[in-house]
Amino acid sequence: MPDVIKLLPDSVANQIAAGEVIQRPASVVKELMENSVDAGAKAISVIIKDSGRTLIQVTDDGTGMSETDARLAFERHSTSKITSAQDLFSITTKGFRGEALASIAAVSMVELKTRRADDEAGTLIIINSSKVEKQEPCSCPKGSSFSVKNLFYNTPARRKFLKSESTEMRHIITEFQKIAIAHPDIRFTLHHNDSEIYNLIPANHRQRIIGIFGKSINNSLITLDTVTNLVTIKGFAGKPENARRSPGEQFFFVNNRFMKHPYFHKAVVEAYQNILPPDTVPSYFIFLEVDPSTIDINIHPTKTEVKFEDERTIWHILLASVREALGRFNIMPSIDFDTDIPLEIPVGPASHTLPRPPEIKINPNFNPFGNEENYSRKMFFDEKLRTAGWEKLYPDSGQSVTGITLPEPERKLLQIKNKYIVCPVKSGLMFIDQKRAHERILYERYLSAMAEPRFASQAEMFPVTLELNPADYSLLKEVEAELRQIGFSIVFKENNEITVAGLPSDSESSDPAGLIEIVIEEYRRTCSDPTSGAKEKIAAAMASASAIPYGRSLTRAEMEDLFDTLFACSSPNYSPSGKPAVFIMTLDEIDKRFK
């Protein structure tokens, strides 16, 4: 029987390995930008076409490479960052595995132009599917320029699974933001289809964050500055009133490397305990500086997961740092009434005369129940006397009455804590969550409107102009048609600005800026759900933004209308997000409570 195990060709092995590192166009942008940072660049330019499908070009003014280094850079596990396994525990560069360029070259057409400052001529290398097509001298400025064309052209299955252009561009912008925030001393520019998205000049961290997320974020930033022997914590935390309902402005960096760290995220959220609006996440941009030997970066292919030698201690330091910053700006609650705190009450000198309580005369023989029997008997008989002979007033009361339609018993509705509506039903008590119920009603109404547009738009007397960050602008542009169908009137301008000229006529919100923000957050939160399309997502986002808020008192007519409209829906029991909107406590359950 012949042997069946064979070595894969290098081209196939490279494509398989590329799947771990290069998942989408944003992965290419990340790897090339990090290489430019490691090369000591002071200016990095990123040019994107068709959200990275057609072209990704990253140009820098870094050290450049020799002809030999340029050719060797595309070989797997070739790097200038480390030379031994021990170096893995003292990494200060972004890259170190030597896999990125080989992975990119395996799934695209790559053109590299590079030159060192002392070299008279540069080097041009063209690689297609890991095969070197051309290598020759060329004229080019100092630094390196990588042009990645037709990404995944040789792996159609990977290309087919790319998302829409707007979605892929949002991911590119997010990766760009992470690196730009970590290195405010470097000039960054980003262009997409000949339109400038970012032009960030060298600045400090605060100015860089403002340059990326807009001027409005400046007033919400609270400075963090904590220095210990174990870790140095610097950066900014957002004010509670600026917290958002979906993640998006939460950034952790360790030694200027972006990282995801759910454990440290919990420390930040813990610091905001009791001061955050419900179901919101605070913004933060936190930079940790630690000894490189105390962290392990070599865990995940994307190098975004980091292990710390003493995570628990850093967790407590981070918690204290954020709390101290919030307290410094008088944001922390002064007294926690849920905690037993011994209060020091001053006591006057012994010479002072203490106030005397008033004297109360008590009759020890008094019995308040002594005449209870006589009193009850008297009350009972008095009641009988008052009602005696009532039959004489209605001589025909014993005859049957026909031809009269008695009204149906009135539905009894009760609002509890301005949050729930309670209604007795045949099987027990029905509880309705007023916000979720209204979300369900609006969701089905918006879906119907998008299927057959008929929604009226309420024109704003004073149209509002908003400045969005590029990611949010791109997201809103993606769903422009759906927003128009349900009553929005939005004008998209240059420099990531929009003008809101009209809102849906049945929207509960009178704040265009707040409504747009909630729509963006809700849509972003559901973007990862593959089971629903753009229309379902925008309908759910609008329903959440426009629904009756908790804390609003409803009239009886409003409760009746909500009740009737909810049970005319196709799925009245659940909100668009799948959370229960209706709950029935049966009589059996109530009976059990009294046993």
The boundaries of the domain holding residue 120 are 10-202
Domain contains 400: no
User: In terms of domains, do 134 and 277 share one?
Assistant: no
Tokens matching residue 175: 């990766």
Average pLDDT over residues 89-94: 74
Which residue, 267, 299, 328, sits at the end of a domain? 328
What is the rounded distance in angstroms from the CA atom of residue 324 to the CA atom of residue 227? 13
pLDDT tens-digit map of 274-283: 888 877 889 9
Q: 148 and 56 in contact (C-beta within 8 Å)?
A: yes
User: In terms of domains, do 533 and 577 share one?
Assistant: yes
What is the reported pLDDT for 354? 52
Query: What's the domain count of the chain?
Result: 3
User: In terms of domains, do 196 and 50 share one?
Assistant: yes
The SS3 call for residue 352 is coil
- Asked if residue 447 has pLDDT above 80, the reply is yes
The chain-wide mean pLDDT, for the chain, equals 82
- Asked if residue 333 has pLDDT above 80, the reply is no
User: In terms of domains, do 120 and 132 share one?
Assistant: yes
Residue 426 CB partners (closer than 8 Å, separation 6+): none
User: In terms of domains, do 165 and 21 share one?
Assistant: yes
What is the rounded distance in angstroms from the CA atom of residue 515 to the CA atom of residue 333? 29
Band of pLDDT at residue 381, cut at 50, 70 and 90 = very low
Q: Which helix (H) or strand (E) holds 224?
A: strand 221-227
Which residue, 153, 183, 202, sits at the end of a domain? 202
User: In terms of domains, do 553 and 442 share one?
Assistant: yes
Give the pairing type, strands 284-289 and 250-254.
parallel
Which residue, 202, 227, 249, sits at the end of a domain? 202
Higher confidence at residue 279 or residue 251? 251
pLDDT tens-digit map of 482-524: 888 878 888 888 878 899 888 877 666 667 777 788 788 777 7
Cα of 314 vs its chain's centroid, Å: 24
pLDDT tens-digit map of 42-70: 999 999 999 999 999 999 999 999 999 99
Give the pairing type, strands 582-586 and 428-433.
antiparallel
